Amino acid sequence: MNRALPLVALAALACAAPKPLPPPPPAPVARVEFAPAPAASGIDPSLVKAAVDPCGDFYEFACGGWLERTTIPDDQSRWVRSFNLMREENKLKLRAILDQAAAGQVSPEDRHGQLVADLYGACMDEPAIEKAGAAPLRAEWKRLGAVRDAGSLSAAVGRLHAAGTAVLFSIGSAQDSKDSTQVIGAISQGGLSLPDRDYYTKGDEKSAAIRAAFLAHVTAQLAAAGLPAPQAKADARAILALETAMAGSHWTRVESRDPQRTYNRLDLSGLKKAAPRFDWKGYLAALGAPGLTAFTASTPKALEQLNALIARTPPATWQAYLRWHLLADAAGARALPKGLSDPAFWFQASHFTGEKAMPERWKHCVGMVDGLLGEALGQAFVRRHFGGEAKARALALVGGVQQAMGRRIAGLDWMDDATRARAQEKLAAVDNKIGYPSAWRSYDGLTVKRGDFLAAATAASAFEMKRQLAQIGKPLDRTEWGMSTPTVNAYYNPSMNEMVFPAGILQPPFYTQGANDAVNYGAIGLVVGHELTHGFDDQGRRYDARGNLTDWWSKPVSDEFDRRAACVERQYSAYPVIDEVKLDGKLTLGENLADLGGLKLAFSAYRASRAGKPEEAPVGGFSADQQFFLAHAQAWCAQIRPENARLRAATDPHSSARWRVNGPLSNLREFAAAFTCGAGAPMVRAERCDVW
């Protein structure tokens, strides 16, 4: 799949769902501020903690009132004022669409309305899931008993990949990074159960405790699914040992950020040379793509380790590993009885996310349909909730931010003329996708049946895998989107040199009709500037105007960029997250550069939009410039559970909310001027970092 850089990390989506059920009563959750319809001002002065000096801690100043009266809902791992409120609202909108469709009221305008109704219906039919028990899973387990050698292992992996279960590694389609007109196969490191390689390789107490808990969890789940207790215990140990050996060959999260490191073009003979014991021909046949010959492999040493593991791993261990991943995927999708699905949720919650309650079934099922049939559901969402005027306003704002970037490039004293010309060429070539796709994806040929959620979810996953693999070797489809339209997020894709802003994020508080320009540029303008800066961050800058991975920078300019970026890396590496854990300045560098550059661009675009116009009216005693920075900060007011804070510090390329506010603002002279912050104030860095 094309590599996309979203504004915020997205939670993984599970699977699918049947018969309309009456809306359940709302589950009791912890106290939380659900804001009323946003005021026309677009900012909320009541969130401000006036006793805090804005030049000392602007995040606490802008969000302190909200933080004091807001508790994370029990079914959430964190609560970000803007994103989570918008996502919950969109879930309700999608639920209304799906409940209506599942009740048989499918609009003729919804081409795939019956399909989404059946998937949602299958997911919501808990009695059918309980009645089926683990029988559908054990039927596939029985097939895995045929894994006896490298050939049968390769065929089983291909069959599982075709159905959407990513064991050993993952496969999909991607643009060739060095010839963006080509679509090739992409083989990436994967196949682990824990969130990151470091959970297997680190020797600290917390990591060891998580591995011990994982071992107990796998043992219990395998036994609950029908294995004899002694076998479940032995299989769990074998699975952990195998995954630990796999993890040691994976790139770290920081290493994986290097697009040169992760681009390794291979043909079929190259794959055979990298891992000759794996039957690639048999694998591709089982995958349903026997004709594939062009690939990129993210991690060559993972293929070498796969080859070594095939030589020394007994068939019983491979069978156990494959059985476990089938079980884990199905349980995580809540496609199995509660006796299996509930423990899967609580293991994650206990160690990585911290929720105190499982999301209601309807929320889970809405997420599954959006994840598996996003464009089928998205058509109905757009027709009901996204007007054409919103798209026009967004396009105008995007244009203003791009012009600000053009002015910024033109005025950089550290960039030579040749590199500057290439940067302007890339900027001019950026493709903006606003609201919804120009051509909706077809789901013709996919059928799902109510009454068997596991089969329905598997069918939808298999359909998507087949769609991706069919793209390989075909002309590049530049209309494709990597997010569904209701998604409250945005991304930049360097291979396509495009920015994508789904309809889901183009609403309050990111865009508030009638609010001052200062507010909208501080909120949605920052989102636009953030994504645009990704095209020129430490990763995106390596791609040219056509999306090719190539070095188009002169060496002196490249060296100067790296020097300036190192300032940002040092700054964020000093920020605490929780207890002894600090941010990883290398892991978060791209997002931090995007936040810093995005704010500068948004502020410049705001000022340009007001040229020749009177200054905008104060709101809550705040000047227009102050409103700009408040709108940015209040979008990031957030509470997070300790477990999730630790997980994100290890795996998330985004900084935590406090530092997404204070980090970039402490580098901005415009912020210091707006709040009259003097030299030496905590929000005025002595070493200002300045890149874009």
Distance CA 307, CA 83 (A): 43
Q: How does DSSP classify residue 171? A: E
How many residues would you count in the chain? 692
Interior angle at CA 630, CA 626 and CA 631, nearest 5: 115
Dihedral, CA of residue 576, residue 582, residue 586 and residue 589, to nearest 10: -30
Query: What number of other Cβ atoms are within 10 A of residue 37's Cβ?
Result: 6
Task: Say if residue 108 is preceded by a cis peptide, omega within 30 of 0.
Answer: no
Check if 370 is active-site.
no
Q: Which amino acid is at 260?
A: Q
Amino acid at 452: D
CA 223 – CA 232 distance, rounded (Å): 6
Q: List alpha helices for 12-80, DSSP H.
A: 58-69
Hey, what's the torsion of the CAs at 317, 323, 325, 328, to 10 degrees?
A: -130
Q: Which residues, 6 or more positions from 676, have their beta carbon under 8 angstroms from its beta carbon?
A: 55
Cβ contacts of residue 177 below 8 Å, gap of 6+?
259, 263, 296, 495, 543, 548, 549
Q: Is 621 left (phi over 0), alpha (psi -120 to 50) or beta?
A: left
d(Cα 239, Cα 245) in Å, to the nearest integer?
10
Q: Quick one: residue 92, left, alpha or beta (phi over 0 = left, psi -120 to 50 = alpha)?
A: alpha
Q: Examine the residue annotation and report whether 531 is marked as an active-site residue of this protein.
A: yes
Structure tokens at 156: 């089983």
Mutual angle of helices 229-247 and 300-312, in 10-degree steps? 140
Q: Residue 88 and residue 361: Cα distance in Å, rounded?
A: 14
Which of 613, 656, 614 has its CA nearest to residue 637? 656
- Return the SS3 of 370: helix
Helix (H, G, I), strand (E, B) or coil at 469: helix
Q: Which residue among the candidates 44, 60, 243, 531 is catalytic per the annotation?
A: 531
C-alpha span between 259 and 537 (Å, rounded): 12
CB 299 within 8 A of CB 250: yes
Find, among 132, 489, 491, 518, the residue nearest to 339 by Cα.
132
- Of 116, 14, 645, nearest to 359 by C-alpha is 14
Q: What are residue 619's DSSP bridge partners? A: 622
- Cβ-count burial of 498 within 10 angstroms (0-12 exposed, 13-18 middle, 19+ buried)? buried
Q: What are 233's two structure tokens?
A: 């215990």
Q: Any idea what DSSP says for residue 185?
A: E
Q: How many CA atoms lie within 13 A of 269 on its CB side?
A: 0
Q: With H, G, I as helix, E, B as strand and everything else as coil, classify residue 108.
A: coil
Catalytic residue among 99, 375, 569, 595: 595
Strand 581-582 vs strand 638-640: parallel, antiparallel, or unpaired?
unpaired
Task: Pick the closest to residue 62 from 74, 70, 50 (CA basis).
Answer: 50
Residues designated catalytic: 531, 595
